[in-house]
Amino acid sequence: MYEGPIQELIDELSRLPGIGPKSAQRLAFWLVKAPADDAKRLARAIVEAKERIAFCRECGNVAEGDLCRICRDPGRDVTTLCVVEEPKDAATIEKAGVVKGRYHILGGAISPLDGVGPEDLRVQELLDRVARDHVIEVILATNPNLEGNATAMYVAAMLTPFGVRVTRLASGLPVGGDLEYADEVTLSQALEGRREM
């Protein structure tokens, strides 16, 4: 549609996840119009991230170097592992500060429709860690959707021979939410997981 560098930029941007052709066009023109320094800073940040950031050899999270910040921290409990799909999930849980143990990033969820099978996930690495570190509990914190649940079921089955405690995050009503707006499935799961008062 356009010529030369601007079209190249649009093409590159539209390859990013969640960016369609229209967004790519908007971003490209914004970048072209922006001060040269802004654009250069962004370019530098991308190059630097690509060069310096690696994946932690333990948990698979993003890391500067061999190990990520959490796996380097000796104060973190090695006998509790919180298993998540993506680094962003670990970041979300970490922000809440509710997990004292360490993380394990699977790198996705099982989804045949997207061509992702268990062999594409870091499941073997998880089993290795569980055996090596005498893990006591594995918390499965994959997303509470179909693919996340199937992944959790699969991982739980693989962990059975190790005799560790395997738990799954509870599903139910959001705190501060309104009963009226809860859907059927959420409500029934909340009811299943109800507690004595």
Partner 1 sequence: MRLAWVELREFRNHAFTRINPVPNGLIVAVGPNGEGKTNLLEGMFFVFALASPRVSANAPVVRDGGDAAYARGEVETLGGRMLVEVEIPNRGASRVKLNRNPVRRKRDVRRQVRGVFFGPDDLDIVRGDASRRRRFLDEALVALWPLKETLLTTYDRVVRQRNRLLREWEGRGEPPALEAWDGELAQAGAAVMRARRDVVAAVAPSASEEFVALAGYALETTYGPNVGAVGGELEEAIRERLRERRADELARRTCLVGPHRDDVELAVRDLGARAFASHGEAWAAALCLRLGLAKAVEREIGEPPVLLVDDPFSALDPRRRDLVAERLARRGGQVVVSVADEADVPEAAHATWDVQAGRVAPRTGA
Q: Which is nearer to partner 1, 92 or 188 (CB)?
A: 188
Provide the minimum distance between the beta carbon of 61 and partner 1 in the complex, in angstroms, as a whole number.
24
Q: Applying CB under 8 A, does 110 fall inside the site for partner 1? A: yes
Among 3, 37, 51, 184, binds partner 1 (CB under 8 A): 184
Provide the minimum distance between the beta carbon of 174 and partner 1 in the complex, in angstroms, as a whole number.
15
- Measured CA to CA in angstroms, residue 42 lies from 36, 54, 65, 91 at distances of 10, 19, 22, 22
Among 150, 169, 173, 190, binds partner 1 (CB under 8 A): 150
Burial class (CB in 10 A: 0-12, 13-18, 19+), 142: buried
Q: Applying CB under 8 A, does 185 fall inside the site for partner 1? A: yes
Q: Which is nearer to partner 1, 34 or 157 (CB)?
A: 157
How far from each other are the two terminal CA atoms of the chain, in whole angstroms? 65
Closest CA to 109 of 127, 90, 85, 92: 85
Provide the minimum distance between the beta carbon of 121 and partner 1 in the complex, in angstroms, as a whole number.
10
Contacts of 128 (CB under 8 A, 6+ apart): none
Provide the minimum distance between the beta carbon of 120 and partner 1 in the complex, in angstroms, as a whole number.
11
Q: Applying CB under 8 A, does 157 fall inside the site for partner 1? A: yes
Q: Applying CB under 8 A, does 111 fall inside the site for partner 1? A: yes
Provide the minimum distance between the beta carbon of 54 and partner 1 in the complex, in angstroms, as a whole number.
28
Closest CA to 141 of 92, 62, 82, 97: 82
Burial class (CB in 10 A: 0-12, 13-18, 19+), 120: middle
Q: Applying CB under 8 A, does 113 fall inside the site for partner 1? A: yes
State the CB neighbour count (10 A cutoff) for residue 155.
Answer: 23
Give me the residues that bind partner 1 (CB under 8 A), please: 110-113, 117-119, 146-147, 149-151, 153-154, 157, 183-185, 188
